[in-house]
Amino acid sequence: MLIVENIYAGYQDLDILHGVSLHVNPGEMVCVIGPNGAGKSTVFKAIYGLIKVRQGRVLFDDRDITNFKPQQVLQAGIAIVPQLRSVFPQMSVMENLELGMYLEKNQKRIEQRIEYIFTLFPELSQMRERLAGTMSGGEQRMLEIGRSLMLEPKMLMIDEPSAGLAPRISQAVFKNIQRLNREINLTVLAIEQNARQGLEVSHRGYVLELGKNTFEGATSALLENPDVRRSFLGG
Each residue of 125-173: pLDDT tens digit? 999 999 999 998 889 988 999 999 998 899 999 998 877 777 788 888 8
Tally: H helices and E strands in the chain:
10, 10
Amino acid making up residue 65: I
pTM: 0.90
Distance CA 215, CA 7 (A): 17
Contact of 15 with 9, CB cutoff 8 Å: yes
Q: Could you state, in order of their start, the residue ranges of all structural domains in the chain?
A: 2-232
pLDDT band at 55 (very low <50, low <70, confident <90, very high): very high
Contact of 156 with 188, CB cutoff 8 Å: yes
Contact of 21 with 5, CB cutoff 8 Å: yes
Q: Among residues 32, 39, 5, which one has the least CA distance to residue 212?
A: 39
The DSSP letter of residue 173 is H
Range 2-232 has CATH code 3.40.50.300: yes
164 vs 78: which has the higher pLDDT: 78
**Residue 64 contacts by C-beta under 8 Å, 6 or more apart in sequence?**
57, 58
Query: Three-state SS for 13?
Result: coil
Distance CA 161, CA 190 (A): 8
Distance CA 49, CA 39 (A): 15
Mean of pLDDT over the chain? 91
State residue 10 phi and psi, 5-degree precision.
Answer: 180, -145
User: Integer distance in angstroms from the first to the last C-alpha of the chain?
Assistant: 34
Query: Three-state SS for 193?
Result: coil
> Which residues, listed in sequence order, are joined to residue 213 by a DSSP beta bridge?
208
pLDDT in tens, 112-136: 999 999 988 888 999 999 999 999 8
